[in-house]
Amino acid sequence: MITPDITKTYAAQSSRVLQDLTIKGTTYKRTSLLKRFPQFDADFASFDIDAGLLRLPAIQQILLAYLKKQGVTIYEKTSIRYIQKCNSNYRISLGNQRITTATIAITAGVWINDMLGLVRDFDIPRFPITPVKPPKTVYFLPKKSKRNLFSIKRCPVFAYLDVGIFGHPMFEGDTPGVKIGYFTPPGFDNKGKITSARDFVTECMPMLGDAAEVAPQEEELGYFEMTPDGNFIIGELPQLPGVSVAGGFCGTGYKFAPLVGRVLAQLSLQKGTIYDISQFSPDRFRRRR
């Protein structure tokens, strides 16, 4: 057993969250898991029945098209020079333009502190965000006799985040094999049995043991923005009424983009949100000191 206490694993906690949200899901112990998904050899697994694999480029095109349809102006490759509070409004110097607005939502990723540094006349405490390079990604190309088992029709998206592993099945035309990413989670001592994608294959996906390793066609760019507690930062800044931030997504922010966008819209337009975001408060790190 790699993880001593199964009740505290990512899989077990995910299962409890699914139950609390009344989302269809099921759990498997080793014998039933091997019968249902012979690709995996593990003591416990939690399966989200309605989850699936989404193509990010297609989603991004749909979202951008929707924004344009709603009349949203998108400025690209344009630098913000400064942000200045003027009475109850804010003036933004955007390239050669000046924009005046009552509310601002900042989602600048790992550069969120740099963006807040552009606010004139306000010394805003920095968020404890640590930039982390993207996970090391390896594609495993199974033998022809096994490839059907690792297609999107037979193999689910998987994650073992207790040791920093995540991946997805083969997607014909888009991926050269089964994708497995590995990163070192915050606080992880990196001294266990799994310290690489190949280690994970050996321990938990032995059917890929004879698969060829294929390097990614393109290196993943950018950084993960890790917070000390692994939670997002979402909310209004106490020092600047009307200015909301969203960041510290720890590598999982993209899938929450529609919901985070809704929360920010509510904060900007309704001066509050219907969702309980207290655990993501931007002020929580200062309160702990």
Domains, in order of start, for the chain: 6-51+134-214 (3.30.9.10), 57-130+225-287 (3.50.50.60)
Instruction: Return d(Cα 271, Cα 51) in angstroms, integer.
Output: 33
Instruction: Kindly state the greatest CA–CA separation across the chain.
Output: 69
Kindly give, in sequence order, each residue whose CB lies less than 8 Å from that of residue 226, ignoring residues fewer than 6 positions away. 129, 130, 131, 132, 186, 248, 250, 251
pLDDT of residue 136: 84
CA nearest neighbour of 135 among 169, 173, 178, 167: 167
Beta strands in the chain (DSSP E): 25-29, 44-48, 80-86, 89-94, 97-101, 104-106, 130-132, 136-141, 158-160, 165-168, 178-182, 212-214, 224-226, 233-236, 243-247
Q: Which residues of the chain have pLDDT under 70?
A: 1-3, 185-191, 217-221, 287-289
127-162: b (≥16 Cβ within 10 Å) or e: bebeebeebebbbbbbeeeebebbebeebbebbbbb
pLDDT of residue 221: 63
User: What is the phi/psi pair of residue 247, to 5°?
Assistant: -170, -165
Task: Write out the DSSP string of 224-264.
Answer: EEE-TTS--EEEE-TTSTTEEEEE--TT--GGGHHHHHHHH
For the stretch 63-71, contacts whose Cβ atoms lie closer than 8 Å and that sit 24 or more positions apart, written own/partner, are: 63/257, 63/258
**Cα 151–chain centre separation:** 23
Which tens digits make up the pLDDT trace of 7-43?
A: 888 788 888 888 888 888 889 999 999 999 999 999 9
pTM of the full predicted structure? Answer: 0.80
Kindly give, in sequence order, each residue whose CB lies less than 8 Å from that of residue 238, ignoring residues fewer than 6 positions away. 282, 283
Instruction: Return d(Cα 174, Cα 203) in angstroms, integer.
Output: 27
Instruction: Return d(Cα 207, Cα 41) in angstroms, integer.
Output: 9
